Amino acid sequence: QQNELNSFLWTIKRDPPSYFFGTIHVPYTRVWDFIPENSKKAFQQSHIVYFELDLTDPYTISALTSCQLLPQGENLQDVLPRDIYCRLKRHLEYVKLMMPSWMTPDQRGKGLYADYLFNAIAGNWERKRPVWVMLMVNSLTEVDIKSRGVPVLDLYLAQEAERLRKQTGAVEKVEEQCHPLNGLNFSQV
């Protein structure tokens, strides 16, 4: 059936069954309506849910933030070619200028301010490693800004699991995500 296709849900046949569901890091509202009922039902019926990372754990968020930073005493200006650094700085100034017009009335109604949002996304950018700055810049688009405040699918499911009092855990540690990205050399980035 159509509603069973492309569900990103795998069943591990055992008693009781286990499920493996592939998620993507986008606001859940962009994909929720396209997630088939069999996946939603498997989540509802589960008692234990494991995620890639525990995005509800303050330590995880803190460790993710720390791993993005250049070694102590280094700044992005020290590691990027001058022309790229200057282009990046101008682009971030443009984004900061445009951000108020990119925000939705709903975001403003929830008390989100453009300056706060910019700092939440791009704050301390001059101390971040180039790979993380690249990922940050890719998320500084009008479409992405309009969806800020909506949790990504992983976080939404984790919040739902907590709300439903399911046991949760993580299959990876921050370091397992951080070290491979930080190991890319400059030409790869």
pLDDT of the chain, 189 residues: tens digit per residue: 545 556 678 888 888 888 888 888 888 998 898 888 888 999 999 999 999 998 888 999 999 999 999 999 899 999 999 999 999 999 999 999 999 999 999 988 888 889 999 998 998 999 999 999 999 999 899 998 998 888 899 999 999 999 999 999 999 999 998 989 888 887 777
In a domain? residue 3: no
In a domain? residue 2: no
Residue range(s) defining the domain that contains residue 13: 9-183
In a domain? residue 106: yes
Stated as kind and residue range, the H or E segment containing 178 is helix 174-182
For residue 4, the model assigns a pLDDT of 55
Number of domains in the chain: 1
For residue 145, the model assigns a pLDDT of 92
For residue 92, the model assigns a pLDDT of 97
In a domain? residue 152: yes
- Residue 44, strand partner residues: none
Phi-psi region of 165 (alpha: psi -120 to 50; beta: other; left: phi over 0): left
Task: Give the integer Cα–Cα distance in Å for 152 and 132.
Answer: 18
CA 19 to each of CA 13, 48, 66, 162, 163: distance values in angstroms, whole numbers, following the listed order: 9, 10, 32, 18, 20
For residue 91, the model assigns a pLDDT of 97
In a domain? residue 27: yes
For residue 5, the model assigns a pLDDT of 57
Q: Where are the beta strands (DSSP E) in 43-119?
A: 48-51
For residue 1, the model assigns a pLDDT of 54
> Which two structure tokens, joined as six digits, stand for 51?
């995620």
Return the exposure string of 106-142: e unless at least 16 CB atoms fall within 10 Å of the residue's CB, then b.
Answer: ebeeeebebeebbeebbeebbbbbbbbbeebbeebee
In a domain? residue 189: no
For residue 20, the model assigns a pLDDT of 85
In a domain? residue 1: no
In a domain? residue 69: yes
Q: For residue 186, which amino acid is it?
A: F
Task: Give the integer Cα–Cα distance in Å for 161 and 42.
Answer: 12
